[in-house]
Structure 1
């Protein structure tokens, strides 16, 4: 039986870079040094006007094909994770199939999960490959949260950046992804949301958990999200290890959704994990939602030569509320 192997990754960031220094000049009253101390973010890449998630996705996929000499005709299935689709319909993945020149026999699926989406995508790719429905799955994440953020919104503009990442997931004889576990709690849907743009009337839409201070279409209750994370994620990690017959000592690195420095630092403290084993690497790109994990994996591969013996835990969490984790062995050089 073939198993899914997390293969090469290509990342695309929009050309425009927005720095904290620029924001400080635009908004002298904003305490950018204090914000950066809490978020760990000093700049973000921002999609241009008219540049959408599919545009970023195409750029990432084409880079992956070129750098890894991948023939688009070999892709059996396209999984596309985004919370900023080009249209309510048609599905963006179908448009990507056409733009990327993938065969028409290729399956194409959009899914909207944000911060936990990459792990969910790997699980779906694993299922497609193990079932024999596909052999080569192209998993793309792309987000343009900046489209939802008002220019004067100090709380969100300093956090979220735009990006895309394309991952090739292929069939292999050895199991290198296992221990998938998931969670969801829709009662927390009012912590992070865009309440308009769907079919539900505005007067009947989900209301933000607390007073909305900014004009942005996107609302986020940061403190409640941190409280959820520091409770749910250590428990998720323990359950994955217990069900896999492993302990914390067996895990080389915990690769987690790069939300903010404060959130990840609280997880480090709660789980008693060293800086080296739970890396934080978002200072130059910000929180890129579903793209943070593939970007982190790509950067870690280039920094640390992986071996087949190393065991990593991949964890995503956030909007939904939704969370997911799995174990992963990587023997691929960056």
Structure 2
């Protein structure tokens, strides 16, 4: 009986990325006029954020995702019929059901044989999405995947909430992930600690009544649907992420000095600077890019990559590390070489 030849195992490779922001721009100067008692210069020093884009009333995360994907198709001459899987990461879905990915399949004109699913992970979602894309491609279940991240956290924030309104911005990013013979993503590691679930939480909108939800650890100061315990999130990050980095390096026999860039979830400047200090990483190797768009949750890493590519700060065939962390608590990291060129 003839033996079927074994072909090389395919791997996932990051192609072009498109980013879309809502039209409305909200600057710190705008907030200062609205709330003269807020110390915006001091807040900006800690957060590193000067402005954010905010979705309009009635504008959803799927609207932003559609605009970003159509931009990707248009600017990179991509045929929607060539896409065979859609991975959609969001914590602001259009409806509890159906999955928003099904709605996007129809809006984008993807073929009906295309797989589509939502996953809700927030800040670690992009790295998790890359791992899922790698698995789909390695198993030969898919060859051309759209990894879409889109968030409208502003829908959960009360206008008077100084702690959240000055941080979170709305955005969508879409990454084309394609099959390649070369392995460009490897060393994935993940972490979960649900004991911190109540440090960043929206308690309503699900099947569990808000009265039965996990109780926030500290007295809620603001009327926002979204609750955040910032100090606990910072403590979690500076304890867990340096360990994750060291574990990835050790597991893959990679020396820290050979990492070109540590591309981290863009939470706030204060959090990233504390990571730089704890990890003893030079600021040039851990870029901070959130001043003009804020913390866009699952979209921060692809936005960062797109900007680094556009400004020629990413070099092909150098090893980088991608790290996402936050809500859940959930975290994930991997090693990555960028082989994409325009």
> Normalising by the residue count of structure 1, what TM-score does the alignment of the two structures yield?
0.99
State the Cα distance separating 1:227 from its structure 2 match: 0.4
Aligned to 1:184: 192
Distance 1:307 1:148 in 2: 38
Residues 146 and 161, structure 1, Cα contact 8 Å, conserved in 2: yes
Residue ranges of structure 1 left out of the alignment (5+ in a row): none
Task: Confirm or deny that 1:286 pairs with 2:294.
Answer: yes
- Residue of structure 1 in register with 2:76 after alignment: 68
Q: Distance in 2 between matches of 1:203 and 1:309?
A: 52
1:274 is matched with which residue: 245, 262, 282? 282
Alignment of 1:211-290 (within 5 A): 211-290=219-298
Question: What's 2:137 paired with?
Answer: 129
Is 1:330–2:338 an aligned residue pair? yes
Please give the secondary structure, in 2, of the residue aligned with 1:295.
Answer: helix
Q: Is the 8 A contact 1:79 1:93 kept in 2?
A: yes
Q: Distance in 2 between matches of 1:35 and 1:196?
A: 28
Q: SS of the residue aligned with 1:291? A: helix
2 CA distance for matches of 1:32 and 1:163?
23
C-alpha displacement of 1:95: 0.2
Of 17, 32, 36, the match for 2:40: 32
Whether 1:303 aligns to 2:311 is yes
TM-fit CA distance, 1:302: 1.2
| 1:168 aligns to 2:176 (yes or no) | yes
Aligned to 1:116: 124
Cα root mean square deviation, aligned: 0.8
Checking the alignment, whether the CA contact within 8 Å between 1:160 and 1:286 is kept in structure 2 is yes
CA–CA separation in structure 2 for the residues paired with 1:83 and 1:54: 11
* Aligned mate of 1:154, from 149, 153, 162: 162
Task: Say whether the 8 Å CA contact 1:39–1:260 is kept in structure 2.
Answer: yes
- The separation in 1 between residues aligned to 2:22 and 2:182, in whole angstroms, is 36
How far residue 306 of structure 1 moved from its aligned partner, in angstroms, is 3.7
**TM-score for both structures, normalised by structure 2:** 0.97
Structure 1 residue ranges (4+ consecutive) displaced by more than 2 angstroms after TM superposition: 304-309
Q: 2:115 maps to which residue?
A: 107
Sort the Cα spacing of 1:276 and 1:196 in 2 relative to 1 into closer, same or farther, 3 A. Answer: same
Contact 2:276 2:283 in 1 (8 A): yes
Q: Deviation of residue 332 (structure 1)? A: 1.8
Deviation at 1:305, TM superposition (A): 5.1
> Residues 40 and 261 of structure 1 are in contact (CA less than 8 Å); yes or no, is this contact kept in structure 2?
yes
How far has the Cα of 1:35 moved from its partner? 0.1
Contact 1:20 1:158 in 2 (8 A): yes
